[in-house]
Structure 1
Amino acid sequence: MGIETVGDLLAALEDYDHDTPIRWAAQPAWPFEYSIGAVVETPADAEGDGTPPTEEPVVWLVEGEQVGYLPGSAADAVGWSR
């Protein structure tokens, strides 16, 4: 199913050098690359009104700046034809 949890993401990244740049690939039909602007978490009580939570907390990877078009090699690696 893919990367669904923080643990899944950490496991997916564990073999990469910690100094390697990281980017976000988006829009398969017109692929762009973005930096990651922030990592934030919404609490289980995301509405802040004290009602019982309906979901677990969620960690969000926030789109940063558009770096440029996704390189062809990256599009090939994720299976997006250009």
Structure 2
Amino acid sequence: MDMEQRDYDSRTALHVAAAEGHAEVVSFLLEACKVNPVPIDRWDKNPMEEVLHFGHHDMVTILQDYQNKYNPQEAPKKDKETAENNLGGLL
């Protein structure tokens, strides 16, 4: 299942969990699901802004730590290499 799916306002599960103060869900989405920590919704807000707006300051560190180590380029590179290797076997 794609854990980065968006609703009609372009909000992700991470947006909602951050806004509601569900630290365990935020941690699960970041650490286990490896979702993008800075998706932008319809109002140009990201989960960090939701945490700050709703006063869930205990989750700032969770989001910051993950943002510091998040590298979205790793997954596409791995997928590209796999695709190239699969194509190489066909030639």
Which TM bucket (shorter chain)?
under 0.3
Structure 1 or 2: larger strand share? 1
Q: TM-score, normalised by structure 2?
A: 0.23
Structure 1 or 2: larger helix share? 2
